Structure 1
């Protein structure tokens, strides 16, 4: 495709379209992954720069993106970004941001009414924002014909029954009220836990730690495999050092255990890893080298 913010490839019989809203040097590298010291980044500069780390500023490069999967005759979105005009006083990068995911989706040939399923890998503001849009001052589902698949553990934690995350983060109530509650009111939300099969190629699987309900979407078709892992990984340094969780993880220890399990499967089964925020092509292979894991950029 001519639009550099839209790329496509296939996994067996599943077409994957990557729709990028932005890709930038984000935060200082060791703020994003606090447990990884400077030597991890510098020793692996050739693996990390320039797609995942900007050495000059020592900032991690991240992307904000949505994945479109065309599978078994249906259109599935994985995560929906920050949204447009949201009140996020606790996060200046997302506060009242003006985005255009619908326009970018249109350039990929996807209209809101074409979407059959929306997968929110977890309920953080940069994964659920375009679930809804403003219609005459009211937040309504952007995708009128879609079922929204919400991890039940996250819906409980971040919703009213969990005190909107217990008030730990300033924006959690706002995120739930403008991006999740309207989907429930519209009758379009499906809560799931453990494992949930979408079709013969796509299966959701719990991957807790980053949030209580963090999940991943596994794709298996004609012998090819991939896992859309959400925020289980923010940087390839976490493939090199799986014990290092991001600063955004609510349970870093559980996140590390989940990450190791997923990386072991990826390395053993040749399953591509597709994190929510990786730069470059957005897709990684995982291999074993000298008793550790190694990230290998996938070029399709």
Structure 2
């Protein structure tokens, strides 16, 4: 499907960080995704569409209209808690996508360099249970997969869990559950949460909002502190092109029409507000403010500032 990703660099530059009131949000990079990813993931975002949306370049697309995407987590310090939102692809895992197979990135070193040693993490929020969001849930130890964050609670929604428990999964997805989800459950670290339609508070200044469509139980993560706010998208918005063209859906959305409605509602609630948006797969600069433009929306990037 895609060219194999290169192993991670031996250097671990500092993690970009943003302040949200007293909270700090750090981007922990895993890998840039291969150029073919955008064409596969968002087939409706043609190069012509992208080049006719000039604000996407150069940060979010190249001059030929090829989308840039990335895999990363957000590491959040909030009221003394250390919270990780999504855990990427993971190292050394058997995957059918060549770009994700047997990955060897510096993600773990970057996490430690940012001050988030695995044993210090209190909570891991899984926005949904897809392969590129759960990979670092576990690490290899003595031929087994064990939880990477042994002192953390791992949290996902009951709706998400029940969906995957009730469908017949292909072998590749079963493999992902065996190496990255079931070991966490078997260690007694996985919590399932019922999320209310208006959102559910899980910690001071941290709320989960239902964003169904990509998967039935997907959530976005809302942060608030000292009158400031931010939102981590999950895969309700894969790329900023979906702000300019909200009807562009992912090829792996389970319910595309619902995903489109969710995206429009989310963007409309944020447009013109000071809330900072963090894109789970947005390349640098990754964060920004939503504004109305041309009957749709655009992202005004916000540089790291901590």
TM score, norm. by length of structure 2 = 0.89
Output aligned runs, 1:227-246, within 5 Å.
Answer: 227-246=231-250
Partner of 2:172: 171
From 28, 32, 44, the equivalent of 1:35 is: 44
- Structure 1 residues 28 and 177: CA distance shift in structure 2, 3 A: closer
CA distance in 1 between partners of 2:224 and 2:190 (Å): 25
CA distance in 2 between partners of 1:178 and 1:31 (Å): 25
- Structure 1 residues 202 and 181: CA distance shift in structure 2, 3 A: same
Shift of 1:53: 1.1
Contact 1:29 1:53 in 2 (8 A): no
Output aligned runs, 1:176-187, within 5 Å.
Answer: 176-187=177-188
CA distance in 2 between partners of 1:224 and 1:198 (Å): 18
Asked if 1:93 corresponds to 2:106, the answer is no
- Structure 1 residues 239 and 5: CA distance shift in structure 2, 3 A: farther
Shift of 1:102: 1.6
Contact 1:28 1:59 in 2 (8 A): no
Structure with higher strand content: 1
- Where structure 2 has 5 or more consecutive residues not aligned to the other structure, the ranges are 1-10
From 56, 60, 71, the equivalent of 2:78 is: 71
Give SS of 1:83's match.
coil
Asked if 1:15 corresponds to 2:19, the answer is no
Q: Deviation per CA, 1:239-276, whole angstroms, max 9, x where unpaired? A: 01111111221211111111111101111533221121
Contact 1:25 1:53 in 2 (8 A): no
CA distance in 2 between partners of 1:183 and 1:80 (Å): 13
From 84, 90, 97, the equivalent of 1:83 is: 90
TM score, norm. by length of structure 1 = 0.91
Partner of 1:48: 56
Q: Deviation per CA, 1:276-296, whole angstroms, max 9, x where unpaired? A: 110121112111124321221
Partner of 2:115: 109
Moved more, 31-40 or 103-112: 31-40
- Where structure 1 has 5 or more consecutive residues not aligned to the other structure, the ranges are none
Asked if 1:288 corresponds to 2:292, the answer is yes
Contact 2:44 2:248 in 1 (8 A): yes
- Structure 1 residues 44 and 196: CA distance shift in structure 2, 3 A: same
Partner of 2:200: 196
Asked if 1:60 corresponds to 2:61, the answer is no
- Structure 1 residues 255 and 221: CA distance shift in structure 2, 3 A: same
Q: How many residues align?
A: 291
Contact 1:226 1:272 in 2 (8 A): yes
CA distance in 2 between partners of 1:233 and 1:251 (Å): 14
Q: Deviation per CA, 1:145-191, whole angstroms, max 9, x where unpaired? A: 10000122221222xx324xx23x54211111111111111111110
CA distance in 2 between partners of 1:73 and 1:135 (Å): 30
CA distance in 2 between partners of 1:111 and 1:29 (Å): 32
